[in-house]
Chains A and B, each alone.
Chain A
Amino acid sequence: MFLASRNFCCRGIKLRTDLLSRSIKHSTSATMPFRHKNTRRIEGLDSNVWVEFTKVAADPSIVNLGQGLPDISPPSYVKEELAKVAAVDRLNQYTRGFGHPSLVKALSQVYEKVCGRKIDPLTDILVTVGAYGSLFSTIQALIEEGDEVIIIEPFYDCYEPMVKMAGAKPVFIPLRCKKDGNSASSADWVLDPAELANKFNSKTKAIILNTPHNPIGKVFTLEELQVIADLCIKHDTLCISDEVYEWLVYKGNKHIKIATLPGMWERTVTIGSAGKTYSVTGWKLGWSIGPEHLIKHLQVVHQNTLYTCPTPLQEALAQAFWTDYKRMDDPECYFYSLSRELESKRDRMAQLLKGAGLKPVIPDGGYFMIVDVSTLNVDLSDVDEKLPYDYKFVKWMIASKKLSAIPLSAFCALETKKHFEKYIRFCFIKKDSTLDAAEVILKNWNKQ
């Protein structure tokens, strides 16, 4: 293809008049096959479930319980900090690349307290554009062609394309419902230890852990983390621990950081998110915390990708963290008060769903809830055959009930979609009026 166009070019250039060469330039650009395709690293990574579903959600007549963004207000002191910062001149200019000094200092204090170990703000922390940016920096820094990366299904959808973009092979292992398909709680979903052990081999560079888990809301127990840790140590594997929902754990549950288990600090990168911690997803600030010998490579990626994160947002976040650091032993600390607020929304949501004949899986953490919709027996066999049931169900629900959710198979690899297609995911970090509107729809569900 390219050769043919080159010949065309050469023939054109032999002719001398300006006019002719100009018209040939025009026609070569019109007829020359466009050779500038995407690079190999992004081959097949162009589609994205959110692009489709967020378009739908933009319709204001639809009650949106799909995408994970709060429609509640961030706490007022957080907004005030940003307003204060906006007035300070020098905070409109570049700050330290790897993280604004006051922010990394605040993060190190908070996490020292949580982890019970010294964390150096300059070498053990990298501030990134959201936890998304931390996942990207970690994977680009430490994963390459020839590596395998274990991903637990269902998974936050970006893990798979990011691993592929790094040239590595994702290896999937599903959470399985131990109650024979009759799940009432996120704790029913577990990994089979023997199955997990079989996924590890000499090529396994890392395992991605997400706890509390999106979409199921599972909070991995100490025993479950120990199983993973033992395998990581045995096979000298890294652990990428996505803990963005770390503060959102409900009564009877405790968030445990796998990095605090013996032998794990040196091989774990733990990822956090301001968006989830302070209900400010639009600030797009996240962080990676870990040992210097791993974080330094993330810093190299960062300095070659975007260099610095926005200054004013980092300063405001630092101030918010200081406020809550000082009251970490007080139940009024936002880390705990948000969790209490969400627990009652969780419970309300669960009740409404049950009332409509649906079967929710009560999450132990996070702000998502998966729901078994097969009980309703909605016949969608006449709709597009190729789509999994849950996609069809969500589309039908949006059109006929004006309520949106996300199909669970969006969080699964191709082979596993069938196992999860009776579930859809609802987000419940929504203000009361949104939940009221959802209530109306769910109460009237069977009347239509």
Chain B
Amino acid sequence: FFFHSLQAKMSRPVQARRLEGVDKNIWVEFVKLAATYSKVNLGQGFPDFPAPDFLREALMGALSGGNHMLHQYTRAFGHPPLVKVLAQFFEKLLGRDLDPMTNVMVTVGAYQALFCCFQALVDEGDEVIIIEPFFDCYEPMVKMAGGTPVFVPLRPNPPKDGKLMSSADWQLDPAELASKFSERTKAIVLNSPNNPLGKVFSRGELGLIAELCVKHDVLCISDEVYEWLVYDGKQHIRIASLQGMWERTVIIGSAGKTFSATGWKVGWVVGPDRLLQHLRTVHQNSVYHCATIAQEAVAQGFQRELMLYGKPESYFVQLPKELQQKRDWLVQSLDGVGMKPIIPEGTYFLVADISPFKSDVPDVPNSDEPYDSRFAKWMVKNKGLAAIPLSAFYSEAHKNNYTNFIRFCFAKEEATLKAASDILQKWKQEKTS
């Protein structure tokens, strides 16, 4: 009897079932490829220019300040100076009073904020609507929480005049969106500005989503990490400020994206206490505390920005200005060689149609791998230029919907963007000769 029960245990996999189907990760592969082959890396989303001086000075100041208790645990749900300044900041932006202790929680990057949301609010059998293309972690996180992802696509409506598409031309079909809401729908994940397209959802589009959330009593997990990176005078609108939405929305933000310091891994959630209380429970049972000194420095960064809010010296004014120029530069480079970029309204990503270059990477019928993925791998190995295939941002069932798009990150030094342009020019010349 004992032998049989031992046998039964040994024949079961050692890992938990919650890991089923969430073990693959595109970044592990593509980051390795970029590290091995790339001369110019426009793949993974991080700046190759330095974080702003005031942020690094804040860290240095904290270190040399003589308060060695900054090397010890701080308040688990967020270092007091940081949650206080975040509350002050978001009070302004949302037009409502916020309690730093109950309406704000600090997390290890926006990534952990997303994890807390799904673990706290999504149970087995719950459906979660995800808008495609999406930041790839949403799907495995929903699955790990036992939920069912339900996908709804942004569909391209190219301008009739043959001009370059804008991310604004990718839209949800209202009827299609409405059809995705069911009794089992627990939440919808909104990402605006959107990674990878760069779409900045308009007030009308957000209103549509909000109406459905209210009608079906559905939560909104609003990933707004690129909230400061909007171009052409566009405005980032926070869905939580729409009627009926504050009480059902968790807003996610990121110091990594806000202050160009992705390696600090400081993020936050802002929302009503009755939702955040559950995120706190997950947080206290998973990581508990976030690194103190990084929070201290980010708090000082926000204090500076609070004082300079709306002024030309504000980093939140300067960074998008700088990135808009880089965007325009990359758009020109790509367009110049025949790749058709979709002009992003926000974020530091853009997606381009690489059709004229497809002849270099012949199609392999019956291949398991989506074409754009094979193309991106060929490109990094043979041209030294790293980018990410758009299929990385689609569910398994829809990975082959678009075969010609790859995503470029333009949060890069001028020299990097120039080097990318040189590679593209040379490549085009090789094709025409």
Contact = CB atoms under 8 A, between A and B. Distances in A.
Interface of A: 2, 5, 9, 13, 22, 25-26, 28-29, 32, 34-42, 45-46, 48, 50-51, 54, 67, 69-71, 73-74, 79, 82-83, 86-87, 89-97, 129-130, 132-133, 136, 140-144, 158, 161-162, 165-166, 202, 235-236, 238, 275, 279-284, 293-294, 297, 300-301, 303-313
A235 B9 CA distance: 9
B281 A45 contact: yes
Nearest to A100: B263
Nearest to B49: A89
A304 B137 contact: yes
A130 B74 CA distance: 13
Contacts of A144: 16-18
Nearest to B64: A83
Given A38-B278, A236-B6, A313-B293, 4 more contacts: A29-B247, A73-B71, A144-B17, A303-B28
B169 interface: no
Interface string B18-56: 110011010110010000000000001011111100001
Contacts of A69: 72-73
A89 B50 contact: yes
A92 B291 contact: no
Contact of B122 (A39, A94, A161, A311): A39
B115 A42 contact: no
B270 interface: no
A310 B291 contact: yes
B69 A71 contact: yes
Nearest to B23: A300
B189 to A, nearest CB: 15
B281 A282 contact: no
Nearest to A5: B217
A298 B287 CA distance: 14
A9 B119 CA distance: 28
Contact of A93 (B47, B108, B244): B47
Choose among B44, B124, B294 the residue with the greatest number of A CB atoms under 10 Å from its CB: B294
9 contacts: A39-B120, A96-B31, A97-B27, A161-B285, A202-B9, A282-B70, A282-B293, A297-B14, A300-B19
A46 B273 CA distance: 14
Interface stretch (B86-94, B140-148, B316-324, B369-377): B140-148
Given A5-B217, A87-B56, A300-B22, A46 B6 contact: no
A308 B186 CA distance: 28
A92 B289 CA distance: 20
B248 interface: yes
6 nearest A-B residue pairs (beta carbon) = A311-B263, A282-B292, A202-B5, A144-B16, A297-B15, A73-B68
A158 B289 CA distance: 13
Contacts of A140: 16, 18
Main secondary structure of the interface of B (DSSP, over half): helix
B60 interface: yes
B393 interface: no
B265 A142 contact: no
B277 A46 contact: yes
Contact of B46 (A46, A93, A235): A93
A161 B23 CA distance: 25
A129 B19 contact: no
Choose among A2, A91, A282, A301 the residue with the greatest number of B CB atoms under 10 Å from its CB: A282
A4 to B, nearest CB: 12
Contacts of B109: 306-308
Contacts of A307: 109, 111, 137
Nearest to B16: A144
A280 B72 contact: yes
Given A281-B73, A307-B111, A38 B16 contact: no
Given A25-B244, A70-B72, A130 B288 contact: yes
A94 B262 CA distance: 6
B171 interface: no
Interface of B: 5-6, 8-10, 14-19, 22-23, 25, 27-28, 31, 44, 46-51, 56, 59-60, 63-64, 68-76, 108-109, 111-112, 115, 119-124, 137, 140-141, 144-145, 186, 214-215, 217, 219, 243-244, 247-248, 260-265, 274-275, 277-278, 280-282, 284-294
Contacts of A284: 287, 289-292
A279 B68 CA distance: 10
B27 A22 contact: no
Choose among A34, A70, A136, A303 the residue with the greatest number of B CB atoms under 10 Å from its CB: A303
B121 A39 contact: yes
B395 to A, nearest CB: 16
A47 B8 CA distance: 37
Choose among A48, A71, A132, A304 the residue with the greatest number of B CB atoms under 10 Å from its CB: A304
B261 A93 contact: yes
B264 A42 contact: no
Contacts of A38: 120-121, 277-278, 281
Contacts of B10: 236
Contacts of A143: 16
A79 B68 contact: yes
B243 A25 contact: yes
B277 A92 contact: no
A46 B293 contact: no
Contact of A42 (B17, B144, B281): B281
A172 B10 CA distance: 24
Contacts of B14: 142, 238, 293-294, 297
Given A93-B46, A97-B28, A36 B121 contact: yes
Nearest to B145: A39
A431 to B, nearest CB: 10
A69 B292 CA distance: 13
A37 B121 CA distance: 7
Contact of B15 (A48, A132, A142, A312): A142
A39 B9 contact: no
Contacts of B5: 202
